[in-house]
Amino acid sequence: MLKIRLIPTLLLKESRVVKGSNYQNWRDVGNPVTSAKIYDAQGADELFFLDITATSQNRQIIFDLVSRVADECFMPLTIGGGVRTIEDIRKLLSCGADKVAVNTAALRNPGFIAEAAGFFGSQCIVVCMDVKKNGNGNYEVFACGGKEPVKKNPVEWARQAQEKGAGEILVSSIDRDGTMQGYDTELIRSVSDSVTIPVIAAGGAGKLEHFVEAVNKGGASAVAAGSLFNFTDQNLIKTRAYMKTAGLNVRSV
């Protein structure tokens, strides 16, 4: 049985780590290299490193910063933000990424997932899904860092992403992001029940119980978080110990 992964997330804006709420009101919380080294020392299963403005600014991710983070850390790295081409993926992998996250480019051209998986393998391609409830109370997928609705249902998009060759899906709730009120387990469960590939829960972790809920109620294969590790006294060591005590199959470090 695969172990439940614990994944800290670093959101990058103008070469600094930031955290916000509902994908806005960003606050500077530190240096990305320093933050990554701390998570590496605490035994993170892997690290998500996402440039949140690369797509909206129509630019590439900052490759030299990715290289610096990779040089300082030994945990697997998933890098995303502004990934549009096969060459972008190739360059990120050469900078030290183990996996590459795609979002807007995949939504605009689902065939890009198949192309990328064909070149690099499905295990390398993570499809990120930013989801928010619309005015009718239905879940809807958004592109461009949560700014552009694309009229896609998350369950249907998850199935399509898997069919195209995605190796994992990161499900992030815009409504829960930065609120620390808990993951949207209904959303996570709907996606995890619809696919056979791993689903990573993101958006809303505020206490250790939330990680357990994401797995037991949401069916997540991994849990990602940022605010809890930045704004509380919790860390990866405490979190892993709590998850293990709760009966989850987590890695020992």
Q: Could you tell me the CATH number of the domain that includes residue 157?
A: 3.20.20.70
**Domain presence at residue 251:** no
Which of the four pLDDT bands, split at 50, 70 and 90, describes residue 1? low
Show the domain range for 112: 5-245
Mean pLDDT of the chain: 94
**Domain presence at residue 222:** yes
**Domain presence at residue 37:** yes
**Domain presence at residue 79:** yes
Mean pLDDT of 221-234: 92
Mean pLDDT of 57-76: 86
**Domain presence at residue 61:** yes
The per-residue pLDDT for 59 is 72
Q: Are 130 and 142 in contact (CB under 8 A)?
A: yes
Mean pLDDT of 102-107: 96
Q: Kindly tell me if the per-residue pLDDT of 53 is higher than 90.
A: no
User: Helices 208-216 and 185-192 sit at what angle, rounded to 10 degrees?
Assistant: 30
Q: How confident is the model over 147-196, as pLDDT tens digits?
A: 899 989 999 999 999 999 999 999 999 999 999 999 999 999 999 999 99
Q: How confident is the model over 112-142, as pLDDT tens digits?
A: 999 999 999 999 999 999 999 998 899 999 9
The per-residue pLDDT for 187 is 98
Tokens of 204: 């809303």
**Domain presence at residue 250:** no
Cα separations in angstroms, 17 against 82, 99, 139, 148, 249: 17, 20, 28, 23, 30
* Separation of alpha carbons 240 and 252, rounded Å: 8
* Separation of alpha carbons 23 and 90, rounded Å: 28
**Domain presence at residue 57:** yes
Structurally, how many domains does the chain consist of?
A: 1
The per-residue pLDDT for 42 is 95
**Domain presence at residue 253:** no
The per-residue pLDDT for 230 is 85
> What is the torsion angle, in degrees rounded to the nearest 10, for the CA atoms of residue 163, residue 66, residue 220 and residue 208?
-170
Q: Kindly tell me if the per-residue pLDDT of 8 is higher than 80.
A: yes
What φ, ψ does residue 75 adopt, rounded to 5°? -80, 155
The per-residue pLDDT for 23 is 87
